Amino acid sequence: MVKLHDTATGSVKELELRRDGEVSMYVCGPTVYGFPHLGHGRFALTFDILRRYLTFCGLNVVYVSNITDIDDKIIQRAHAEGKTCDEIAHFYEEKWWESMDALSILRPTYTPHALDYVEGMVDLIGKLFNIDAAYETSDGLYLDVSKVEGYGLLAHQDLKSLRSGARVEIDSNKRSPVDFALWKFAKPGEPIWPSPWGNGRPGWHTECVVMSLDLLGEGFDIHGGAQDLIFPHHENERAQAVVLGRKFARHWVHNGWVTVEGEKMSKSLDNYTTLPELLSHHDPRAFRLLVLRSHYRSPIEVTPETLTDSEAALGRLDAFVRRVLNEIQDSYRGSIISGKDASLHLENFKAAMDNDLDTPGATAQLFECISRGHILLDQSNYEAAWSCYLAVCEMADAVGLERKSIPGRIDQKTMETIAARDQARSQRDYALADKLRDELVSMGWAVEDSPSGTRVHRS
């Protein structure tokens, strides 16, 4: 069974599911006021990989990830650009999905939008108010976190140290600096919704608790997001559920930072900080492989160099698939993985993934299986090489790594030219071999020399 690090306990523990065979997962999505950046790409890829792997393990995954379409930043951008909040949110949500699709990130089972849940949020705030966990000030409604049992669980700090570490806001008449806004009273020029306490809009922390409980129910399995959401966002989501006596997430999973040129990404704003920018320069699979080759809780360095390095590794994957499909005849192509080489790599891959999603270890198995497959091909051991190919495909599919190497159909004329070139090479007639290579190139093939002879694929 899969083991994952749980932020609440600070330890790696077995994933204990609410219902056998089903995983319910909530991952905080983007606030749509700008182009998605590399940090967004990393969390979306991390949880896509987790989701795909759990599915690969035979579990039915219900994956919810929200869109925050009302927020201070959306309002600010709308004012700055002379547009409505809806126009800004709609435009950047489209940009979000364009990048997600390009990265082959599966669409969530449900994508709730905050604006569709305002009524539910007002309802939840009313309940908090009724049990005296919320109070009103001149600018809004706040949660009194001293009423929440175990507040600070995710931050691993008690209320006293959280209080002393909190930034004291000027002009706030909150009871404690750690208390947070549930409802913000209307300010001129802002979109507003009605509530029993006056017009205004909901706070961000209320959105996710309402949507996750509504779509997944109490005690759902996994709540995920980037590490910078642990405190205060996730702590405050949990606080609202717990104070109402409702069971919240069973397991908290958080992914690490992205660094660009050694700096934490949010501080650096040159090239390669947005996903559209990255995707215009690199194979989209390179970012996924970069994420896979680091542990999800460690920081990753995204630079043109690390991406180019990933592309070189993808070249190895593609070249292996091409070679297998070119060289192995149908009669050797079995439908199940047999032989100890492929089986062992696949077993080791699963063991690594089960161990807190050790994707670097798992990816190493995939590439070792490729190396073994080449050796088997060199030895003309086609059945075992085919098994390695099947294992490579299975491992790659389990983590969403696509192969771009389905060869074009090799026609009779090409086959004859390859045979003639191999014969010329064996007779050391290199002038003729070069001429036949040029012919293949002019027919649209990329040509490689291998120990077993000429290999071609569509260039």
User: Least CB distance from residue 30 to Zn ion, whole Å?
Assistant: 10
Please identify, using beta-carbon distances, which residue of 70 and 398 lies nearer to Zn ion: 70
CA distance 431 to 315: 29
CA distance 143 to 278: 40
User: Least CB distance from residue 311 to Zn ion, whole Å?
Assistant: 33
Please identify, using beta-carbon distances, which residue of 112 and 373 lies nearer to Zn ion: 112
User: Least CB distance from residue 40 to Zn ion, whole Å?
Assistant: 13
User: Least CB distance from residue 233 to Zn ion, whole Å?
Assistant: 6
CA distance 314 to 286: 7
User: Least CB distance from residue 214 to Zn ion, whole Å?
Assistant: 13
Please identify, using beta-carbon distances, which residue of 216 and 307 lies nearer to Zn ion: 216
Please identify, using beta-carbon distances, which residue of 225 and 400 lies nearer to Zn ion: 225
Please identify, using beta-carbon distances, which residue of 162 and 208 lies nearer to Zn ion: 208
DSSP-derived letter for residue 228 is G
CB 157 within 8 A of CB 196: no
DSSP-derived letter for residue 230 is I
Placement of tokens 């320069």 in the chain? 281
User: Least CB distance from residue 309 to Zn ion, whole Å?
Assistant: 33
Using CA atoms, how far residue 77 sits from 38, 80, 147, 407, 425, in Å, is 20, 5, 36, 47, 65
432 class by beta-carbon count within 10 Å (0-12 exposed, 13-18 middle, 19+ buried):
middle
Please identify, using beta-carbon distances, which residue of 15 and 28 lies nearer to Zn ion: 28
Alpha carbon 445 to chain centroid, angstroms: 35
Using CA atoms, how far residue 20 sits from 221, 249, 251, 258, 339, in Å, is 11, 16, 15, 35, 32
What H or E segment, with its residue span, contains residue 404? Answer: none
User: Least CB distance from residue 116 to Zn ion, whole Å?
Assistant: 15
Please identify, using beta-carbon distances, which residue of 114 and 440 lies nearer to Zn ion: 114
Q: What are the strands, taking DSSP E only, across 28-178?
A: 60-65, 134-136, 140-143
Q: Which residues bind Zn ion (CB under 5 A)?
A: 28, 208
Closest CA to 397 of 324, 317, 341, 343: 317
The CA-CA-CA angle for residues 351, 283, 448, to 5°, reads 90
Please identify, using beta-carbon distances, which residue of 180 and 445 lies nearer to Zn ion: 180
User: Least CB distance from residue 5 to Zn ion, whole Å?
Assistant: 19
Alpha carbon 244 to chain centroid, angstroms: 32
